[in-house]
Structure 1
C-alpha cells in the first residue's frame, strides 16, 4: 500500500518532468514568417507562428517538432535541452513549381488574445499581416476600414477628432469610441489617437461584436488590434523616401538588430510626413488642410532566460494641422434676420462645396507612450505583466461661424493621462481540450478639458468671451476577467468568458464649482459555440454584452441632463467561415442583432452655448456582412466585401429638464440612427508575380463605397448624404533590396463629405459640411541595407 501511495504521489512530478514548453522564432532571410505550422510529431498538438514569427508550444520532453510552410522545405527537429528553438526555413522551388495555383497564405490574428488563424476564430475578424499591410499601403485605421465591412472611420474639425462607426454603433463628440483600441497589447482609451499614422507594423486587425469580456469597457462594437514589428536578431535597416502632390513629403527610417546576440534586441522606427494641403479657403486663398507629423518609436526585447522575456517600448508623436474649415453658405445668403442663412446641399457636387471663413484654423496633438512587458513561463502557464503610461495633449483654435465675419471663434484644449497595469495568465498551447486565460486590470485616467469662444453682440457690435467647459474628468477602473475554450468533441467547441468592471467616475467643474461622482459595477459575459463541420467549413453562434461609459455634461438644458447614461447592448450573431478549391476561394459571413439601451447622441445648445450628450431609451440594430477572396489565376486575386446595417431608434424617451420641462424624443421613434452609413462595400483586384528572376511586381486597385447616411434624428432628405465611391490604386516593383512604389487615393477626384452637421444640432445655425480629401498621388523608394 505504501508503495502504491508513493507511486501515486510521484506521478504528477513524473508527468511534469516529461512535459516541456518550447518557444522560438521562425524566419527567412532575417525576416520573421507568420503562419508557419509547428506540429508535435505523431500527435494533433500544434500551433501557428504569430504575425512576428513567434511560437510557443507545450510538448513531451522527447518530442520531435515538424515545421512546415508552403514554398519552404519541411524540417523535423528533436526538442533539445534548451527551451528555445529558433528556426531558419529554406525555400523549396520544386514545391512551388508543383502547385499550379496556390491558395491564400494563412493570416493570423489575436482577436481572442491568443495567436490563431483568422479562419479558425469563431468571430467576425478582418486582419492583415505585414505583407498585406504593405501591399495595401495601410498607414492609418481610415485606410484599413475601407477593407472591412460595416466599419467606417472619419476625421474632422481638427487633428485628433475622430468618428468611428462599427456595425451601426457611432462615435459621437466628447464621448468614447465604440471599440477597444489596442496597440502592442495595451488599451489606449483616448479616441484622439484612433487615426494616428501607422508604420512598421506586423498586424492590424478588427474583431466585431461586443468584446468587453476580453477588452473591457467601451468595446461595445468590437476591438482594433495593432501590433508593431518586433526587434530581430539580425541587423536590418530600411530607408523610405516619398513625394506626392501638395508637397507631400515622406521620410521613414527603421533599424533593428542585436545589442547582445540571441539575448537583447532593439528596433528604432521614425517617420516624418508633410502635406501642404489641397483645399483652399476662398477668403484668403490659403490652403487649410495642411498637416505635419513626426513619429518615433523605440523597442527593446531582452530574453533573460529561456522562460523569461522582458520588453519595453517608448513612442512619441507630434502632429500639427489645419482646423475648423467647414463649408457653410458658400452660395446662399450670408444673413437672414441677423443670423447666418442659406442652405448647404448635402451633395457636395451641387456646387456648395466651398470653404470661406476669416479665422485661420490650427490644431496640435502630442502623444508620449511608454510600455513595459514581462513574460514568465515556468511550465504550461504563461504569466504576463503589462505596465503602461500614455499622455495626450490636444488643442485647436479657429472659426466657429465658418463665414468671413468676426462673429464666433472657438478654442479647445484637452489632455489625457492614463496609467494601465494588467496581469494576465494563460495556458501554453498543448494537445489538451482546454485553453484558458484570466487576469486582473487597473486603470487610472485623468482628462482636463477646456472649451471657449468669442461671440458678437450685433446690437452693441462688441465681442464677448465665453467659456463653454472647464472640467477635469477622472476614471478609476478595477477589473477581473477570464475566458475558456473547451473542445466538447473534435468538431464542437464551446467558449465562455466574463469581465467584471468596477468604474468610478468623477468630474470637477470649475465653472459651477460643483463636483460630481458615481460608480458602476458591470459584468460583461460572452459565450460562443463553434462547429467545424468539415476541414474547411466553420459555423458559429455568439452572444455578448457590451458596455460604453457615460459621463457628465456642463449644465442642464432643454436638450440634455447634467449627466448622460452608460450604453448597454446585448448582441447575438450567427456566422460561417469557408474555404474551397484548395484555399483558392474563401467566403466568410455573419448576421447579427443588437438590442441597445441608452444609445448616446450629441447636440450643441445655442441658447446656453453648451455642448452636451443625451440618450435614447431603446434602439435596435440588424445587419449582415460578407467577405470573399477568390484567386482567379496564379497572378490575379479578386477581393470583395459587403456590409449592411439597419440601426433604428425604437423608443426615444425624454431628455433635459430646465424648470421641470423635459424634451420629448418620441418623435424620433422608428427613425434611423444618425451618423451610420446604411451599407458599404469594397471590391478590389490584387496581383503579384515575378517579372524576371530578380524583379517582382505587386499591384492593387480598390473601389470603396460608403452608403447613404442620415445626419440628424428627423432623417430629413435635406440632411442626408447619398452613397459615394472612392477609387484607390497602388503598384510597386522590387529587385534586390530596392522597391519603387507609385500610389493614388481618390484618383477620380470625387467630392464628398465625411461629416455633415445640420443646423438643428446647433439650435439655429445653418448646416455645414467637412470636405473629404481630393485626389492624392505620389511615389516612394524603399531601400533595405
Structure 2
C-alpha cells in the first residue's frame, strides 16, 4: 500500500513539474494593450485570453511548446516557449482581417467579475462591462454615466459632494449608509460609499456584476459589485494630454504618462486631472450659481518585475473635490418670503420649483489612497498579497430650511480611515477541470462623525448653535473565503463558494456619552450551475446570499432606534447568453427573485434634527433584465437594455420609541420600496468608420429612461415621480495621434429630480427636492506622443 502511495506521489510530482507556467503581455505596435487576444498551446485545446490590460497566464505541457497568439484585425504569431517564463508579444495589424464584419460588443469584453479573466459572454452572471475602447466611445467619466448603460442600476447624488444614492435590483442605498454594491478599484475593496463620486479616467475596465456577491466580495455586496481597473504601467513610453471646455464655465486638463524606469523590469504610470465648473443652477434669492465644483486628481503607479515569478507594485492617489451643497428646491407658489407651507410638484417643469436658500452651501471631499501588491507565481498556483489604506475627509455647510429665512443651518464633518489586508491563493493551471481560489481578509474602518447647526438668533444677536451628532464608529472584520469551478462535462460546470465574515461594531458617542458594542458572524454562500448549450449559447442558474452590515445611529427617536440591524438577501436567478448571426447579434437575459430581511431605510427627524436608519422586517423583489447589441453593418451598431424590479414591502414592522411613541411601518405592507425605479430602459447607436485614410469618425448616442419612482412608503402620487428620459451623445474625430471629442448630456434639457423628500412625514412644512443636471455640452482635444 505504501509503495502505491509513493508511486502516485511521484507521478503527480513529475506531472506537476513537467508543466510550465507562462505569463506575458499582448500589445499593438503603439504599446497599447489588446484585451481579449487568444493565446493557445498549439496542437491542444489549452488556451486563455488576455485581460483588459493585455496580461495573460497560461500553463503549458513542456518547454518545447509553441504558443499561438491571435486577435481580430491582427496577424497571428507563433512563438516557441524555449524555457522562457515570460513572453511579451507585439501584434501587427492585418489589412485582410480588418475587412470582416464582426461585433466586439459584449463578446469582445474581458471582465473579472469572478476574480479571474474571462469573456463576460462565458461568465454565468448578469454582467455589463466596457473595456478601455468602449469607455472612451461612451464617454464614461463616472459611475453615473456608466449606470445609464446598465439595466436595473441607478446612481444619483444630492445634498453635498460624496453623498450618493445607488440602487440595484430593487435594493436602494440609504443616505449616508453603505452602498448595496461592493466598490472595487484594481482588486481592492473601497468601503466608503462617498468615493463613488470620484471622477474616473485612464481606465482599462469598468464592469457591474449583479446579484448577491458576498462569497466573492464580502459584506455590502448584497446587490452586486462594481469593478474598476485602471490602466497599468507599460514598458513602452507613451504620453497623452487632453484639454477641454464646456458650458457653465467647464474647463478640463488631463495628463497621462507611462513607460519604463528600467526596461523590462520597472515601469511607471502617472496620471492627473483638473476640472472646474461654475455651475448652471441659480439660487434665485442670492442670484448665484449653486452647482459649482472644482476637482483635482493625481495618481501614481510603479510596477517592478523582480523575477519572472515575483512582481510587486504600488499605487497612490489623491483627490480634492470642492462643490456646492444644500441647494434643495422648494415650491414657489407657497413661498411668501416668510414661510412656504407648500407641496412641491414631484414632476418638475419650468417655474414650479425654485432654489431660494439664503446661505450658499459648500462642501468638499479629500481622499488619500494607497495600495501595495505582491504576486508570486509558483507555476500552477499564484500567491497574492494586497495591502491598502484609505482616508476620506468630508465637510458640508449650508442651509437647513432651504428658504430665504434667517435661522436653520447645518454643518457636518466626517473622517473615515480604512486599512485592508488580503491574502489570496489562486489556481493558475489552465489545463485542469477544477479552478479554485481561497484566502483571508482583514479590515478596520474608523468613522468619525460630527454634525451641528444653528436654530436662529438668541438674545445677544448671535446664532444659537446646537450639536446633533458627535461619535466614532469602528468596524473590524476578519473573513475567510473560497470559490471553485468544476467541469462535470465539457458543457456542464458547477461552481460553489463561501465567505465567512466575523464583524465587530463599536460606537463611542461623545454627545450622549454612551458606548455601544455588538458582534455579528455571517456566512455568505454562493452556488452556480452553467450549461454551455453550444459555443454561442450559455444557460445558468445561481443562488447567492448577500449581507449589508447594520450599525448605530446618532440617537433614538420616534422613527428609529439607537441601532439598526444587518440586512440579509437570498437571491435566485436564471439567465441566458447568446451570440448569433455570425457573431453580429448578442442577446442576454436573466430573471431574479430576492427575499430581504431587515432592509434598511433612512429618515431625518426634523423634530429632533437627528437622522437615522431603520429596518423593514421583510421585503421581496422580483424582476428581469434584457441586454442586446447588434452590428447592422460594418460601421453601425445598435444596443438596448431593459430592466424591471418590483420591490414590495411584505412586513414593515415597528421601530422607534425613544419617548414611548413608536412608528408602525406595517401600515405600508404591500407598498413599493422607496427610491427604487420600477424600470430602466436604454437604447443607443454607435458608429465607427474611416472618413479618409487618416481620419476616423466615432459616434455614440444613448437615450436612458428611468421609470416611475416612489419616494416614500405611503406611495402617494404627490410623492412619486413619473418616468423621464435623458439623451446623451458624443462624436469624435481621430487624425493620427490627435483626437477631437464633442459631447452633450441631457440634450433635451429635461428637468428631473435626483432626490425628493416629502415634508409631511419628517416634520417639515414643505417638500424639498434635488434637481438633476441641466443640458451640458463641451468639447476636448487630446494628443498622444
1:180-229 CA-to-partner distances (Å, cap 9, x unmatched) read 00001110000110121000000000000000000000000000000000
Once residues 760 and 525 of structure 2 are traced to their aligned partners in structure 1, the CA distance between those partners, rounded to angstroms, is 39
Q: Which residue of 1 is the match for residue 687 of structure 2?
A: 687
Q: Which residue of 2 is the match for residue 37 of structure 1?
A: 38
In 1, are the aligned partners of 2:701 and 2:730 still within 8 Å (CA)?
A: yes
Once residues 90 and 285 of structure 1 are traced to their aligned partners in structure 2, the CA distance between those partners, rounded to angstroms, is 58
SS at match of 1:194: helix
Q: Which residue of 1 is the match for residue 119 of structure 2?
A: 117
Q: Which residue of 2 is the match for residue 284 of structure 1?
A: 286
Structure 2 vs 1, CA of residues 615 and 23 (structure 1 numbering), >3 Å: closer, same or farther? same
In 2, are the aligned partners of 1:301 and 1:311 still within 8 Å (CA)?
A: yes
SS at match of 1:170: coil
1:402-423 CA-to-partner distances (Å, cap 9, x unmatched) read 1101121000000110000000
Q: Which residue of 2 is the match for residue 487 of structure 1?
A: 487
Once residues 624 and 382 of structure 2 are traced to their aligned partners in structure 1, the CA distance between those partners, rounded to angstroms, is 37
1:552-571 equivalence runs, <5 A: 552-571=552-571
Provide the alpha-carbon RMSD of the alignment. Answer: 1.6
In 2, are the aligned partners of 1:283 and 1:356 still within 8 Å (CA)?
A: yes
Whether 1:49 aligns to 2:50 is: yes
Whether 1:470 aligns to 2:479 is: no
Q: Which residue of 1 is the match for residue 88 of structure 2?
A: 86
Q: Which residue of 2 is the match for residue 774 of structure 1?
A: 774
Q: Which residue of 2 is the match for residue 241 of structure 1?
A: 243
1:372-521 equivalence runs, <5 A: 372-456=372-456, 463-521=463-521
Q: Which residue of 2 is the match for residue 199 of structure 1?
A: 201
Structure 2 vs 1, CA of residues 344 and 659 (structure 1 numbering), >3 Å: closer, same or farther? closer
1:337-379 CA-to-partner distances (Å, cap 9, x unmatched) read x864112111111632211110110000000001000000112
1:696-742 CA-to-partner distances (Å, cap 9, x unmatched) read 11011111101111001100000011111011110001011000111
In 2, are the aligned partners of 1:334 and 1:342 still within 8 Å (CA)?
A: no
Q: Which residue of 1 is the match for residue 61 of structure 2?
A: 60
Q: Which residue of 2 is the match for residue 612 of structure 1?
A: 612
Query: How many residues are treated as equivalent by the alignment?
Result: 782
Instruction: Measure how far apart 1:436 and its partner are.
Output: 0.3
Using the TM superposition, name which of 607-616 and 111-120 deviates more: 607-616
Once residues 333 and 404 of structure 1 are traced to their aligned partners in structure 2, the CA distance between those partners, rounded to angstroms, is 10
Q: Which residue of 1 is the match for residue 358 of structure 2?
A: 358
In 1, are the aligned partners of 2:65 and 2:82 still within 8 Å (CA)?
A: no
Instruction: Measure how far apart 1:329 and its partner are.
Output: 2.6
Q: Of 150, 163, 166, which residue of structure 2 is paired with 1:164?
A: 166
Q: Which residue of 2 is the match for residue 213 of structure 1?
A: 215
SS at match of 2:87: coil
Once residues 635 and 437 of structure 2 are traced to their aligned partners in structure 1, the CA distance between those partners, rounded to angstroms, is 41
Once residues 8 and 417 of structure 1 are traced to their aligned partners in structure 2, the CA distance between those partners, rounded to angstroms, is 51
Give the TM-score taking structure 1 as reference length. 0.98
Q: Which residue of 1 is the match for residue 296 of structure 2?
A: 294
Structure 2 vs 1, CA of residues 4 and 579 (structure 1 numbering), >3 Å: closer, same or farther? closer
1:37-77 CA-to-partner distances (Å, cap 9, x unmatched) read 11112222111100000000111123221111111111122
Using the TM superposition, name which of 441-450 and 80-89 deviates more: 80-89
In 2, are the aligned partners of 1:421 and 1:442 still within 8 Å (CA)?
A: yes
1:59-104 CA-to-partner distances (Å, cap 9, x unmatched) read 112322111111111112221222000011111112223x255564
Q: Which residue of 2 is the match for residue 149 of structure 1?
A: 151
Once residues 286 and 457 of structure 2 are traced to their aligned partners in structure 1, the CA distance between those partners, rounded to angstroms, is 25
Instruction: Measure how far apart 1:10 and its partner are.
Output: 3.4
In 2, are the aligned partners of 1:574 and 1:591 still within 8 Å (CA)?
A: yes
Q: Which residue of 1 is the match for residue 540 of structure 2?
A: 540
Q: Which residue of 1 is the match for residue 315 of structure 2?
A: 313
SS at match of 1:441: strand
Instruction: Measure how far apart 1:661 and its partner are.
Output: 3.6
Q: Which residue of 2 is the match for residue 258 of structure 1?
A: 260
Once residues 480 and 3 of structure 1 are traced to their aligned partners in structure 2, the CA distance between those partners, rounded to angstroms, is 37
In 2, are the aligned partners of 1:103 and 1:582 still within 8 Å (CA)?
A: no
SS at match of 1:305: coil
SS at match of 1:169: coil
Once residues 12 and 778 of structure 1 are traced to their aligned partners in structure 2, the CA distance between those partners, rounded to angstroms, is 62
Once residues 241 and 32 of structure 1 are traced to their aligned partners in structure 2, the CA distance between those partners, rounded to angstroms, is 24
Structure 2 vs 1, CA of residues 101 and 117 (structure 1 numbering), >3 Å: closer, same or farther? closer
Instruction: Measure how far apart 1:659 and its partner are.
Output: 4.1
In 2, are the aligned partners of 1:103 and 1:631 still within 8 Å (CA)?
A: no
In 1, are the aligned partners of 2:74 and 2:97 still within 8 Å (CA)?
A: yes
Once residues 342 and 458 of structure 1 are traced to their aligned partners in structure 2, the CA distance between those partners, rounded to angstroms, is 28
In 2, are the aligned partners of 1:47 and 1:429 still within 8 Å (CA)?
A: no
Once residues 318 and 263 of structure 1 are traced to their aligned partners in structure 2, the CA distance between those partners, rounded to angstroms, is 33
Structure 2 vs 1, CA of residues 555 and 781 (structure 1 numbering), >3 Å: closer, same or farther? same
The runs of at least 4 consecutive aligned structure 1 residues that moved more than 3 Å come to 1-10, 100-105, 457-463
Give the TM-score taking structure 2 as reference length. 0.98
In 2, are the aligned partners of 1:206 and 1:222 still within 8 Å (CA)?
A: yes
Q: Which residue of 2 is the match for residue 522 of structure 1?
A: 522
Structure 2 vs 1, CA of residues 345 and 6 (structure 1 numbering), >3 Å: closer, same or farther? closer
Once residues 335 and 375 of structure 2 are traced to their aligned partners in structure 1, the CA distance between those partners, rounded to angstroms, is 65
Instruction: Measure how far apart 1:662 and its partner are.
Output: 2.4
